[in-house]
Homo-oligomer: A and B are copies of this chain.
Amino acid sequence: MAKKLIKREENYSQWYNDLVITADLAENSAVRGSMVIKPYGYSIWEKMQAALDKKFKDTGHSNAYFPLFIPKSFFSKEASHVEGFAKECAVVTHYRLKKDEVNGGIIVDPDAKLEEELIVRPTSETIIWNTYRNWIQSYRDLPILVNQWANVVRWEMRTRLFLRTAEFLWQEGHTAHATKNEAIEETERMINVYADFAENWMALPVMKGSKSENERFAGALETYAIEALMQDGKALQAGTSHFLGQNFAKAFDVKFADKKGKLEYVWATSWGVSTRLMGALVMAHSDDNGLVIPPKLAPIQVVIVPIYKGEEQLSQISEKVNIIKKNLEAKGISVKFDDRDTQKPGWKFAEYELKGVPVRIAIGPRDIENNTVEIARRDTLEKETKSQDGIENYIEELLVKIQENIYQKALKFRENNTFKADTYDEFKDIIENKGGFVLAHWDGTPETEQKIKEETKATIRIIPLDAEEEKGECIYSGKPSNKRVVFAKAY
């Protein structure tokens, strides 16, 4: 780690971008808006995938794979869906290149034009519901509980590593049900799975609720979302689960015979999280020294750095370290022993701070004499000296504490940055000067939300599912309202 990061308070946006790059998570590629996810970043994503995949399977889902390309005509079948995605579609028009006989190089072969253009999937509802038509005849074929891990493309004009990229990785669940209630239950089940993952794995407290009409998924009757607060006071949508009603079943003519033989349209849900979660993880917890990764998602949970002069000291230290490493690994803890002689301990300390390794153990000649090690926590930057005896038990507990502490810190931050506003002036003041979540009354109309957005850049992040009834007046229109919704500026 050669250069220092800029401080968050100086330029949060640049701090984020520099951190993602210097900590080897990802970088911009030569392809506009597409990123390269580097091995260290990808190994965190793999841990997220594994935890989520297990949760999906534990709730009865199976994985499958559907085509990358969607025929253009499929896209038009659900009106609001095409409306939502048409402006950002990568379109395949040809299937061959050839030598340019005149100018050299290669050109697209004009003779290889497709009869119907193919859209690179921005999401897969249309191709999947076209497939489900053949899978579903009777109520016995339902429910279908399928998930797909895939890449998708949305041609975004302004991109930021992980948060908004033209191509990103995600999972998309697509389920089919015999009844409306069952589909709504599934939609709620999956937003709860996401909230549980965010809180227990990412150490990220989230608000859960439904979206207003303006913010709803293109084609959904209801969108549930989890929203997390970043350190700059902006909200980040971390996952969504959509109740699609019978919209796609009608668009693709998917009917089933119920027990009495009567034909009914099938009910649908879809739900997804993406590599955007990587951005949330970085933005929520990291500090001016670098990444802070919750132990449950850390590719390396413990790094051991030897402090030594000469081969003999290193060999004494290594002997001890190998025992400690083995005992830690026996507990399922991932450990790296960095005994490279090309870098000094101070350089290594800074490097692993930057990379967010939760626990660092340093061990030198005096530790060998005293049967001790020095332990440093990444989350608090505290150091302490501990006996080597039973150190693996201590570290095991410490990792649990660190996971919990990172969560509590983020929760406290959110509590300190969640405000109530009862007038529009108060609202504007908070949004402009403090940021954070603002609980306010709203008259329930898209027009009011739109006006507030235009004037303050804040949008309704969620309408809480279990909000208390409270009589009040819309901060903008003064019309009556019976519960507060959550506003914020958002990524």
Contacts and interface: CB of A to CB of B under 8 A. Distances in A.
Contacts of A225: none
Q: How large is the interface on A (under 10, 10 to 19, 20 to 34, 35 or more residues)?
A: 35 or more
A131 B35 CA distance: 11
Given A95-B155, A96-B87, A130-B30, A66 B36 contact: yes
Contact of A131 (B29, B69, B134): B29
Given A75-B106, A140-B342, A43 B31 contact: no
Of all A-B residue pairs in the complex, the 4 with the closest CB atoms, nearest first, are A39-B62, A34-B67, A86-B97, A37-B65
A439 interface: no
Contacts of A118: 31, 90
Contact of A70 (B27, B31, B67, B76): B31
A153 interface: yes
Nearest to A100: B76
Given A36-B131, A75-B106, A76-B106, A82 B68 contact: no
Contacts of A42: 62-65
One complex includes copies of this chain to the number of: 2
Interface of A: 27, 29-31, 34-39, 42-43, 46, 62-76, 82, 86-99, 105-106, 108, 117-120, 127, 130-131, 134, 140, 146, 150-151, 153, 155, 167, 169, 342
10 contacts: A27-B134, A31-B69, A42-B64, A46-B63, A68-B167, A69-B167, A72-B97, A76-B105, A87-B97, A108-B117
B75 A31 contact: no
B62 A127 contact: no
B140 A68 contact: no
A99 to B, nearest CB: 8
B34 A69 contact: yes
A67 B31 contact: yes
A92 B131 CA distance: 24
B67 A92 contact: no
Contacts of A91: 92-97, 108
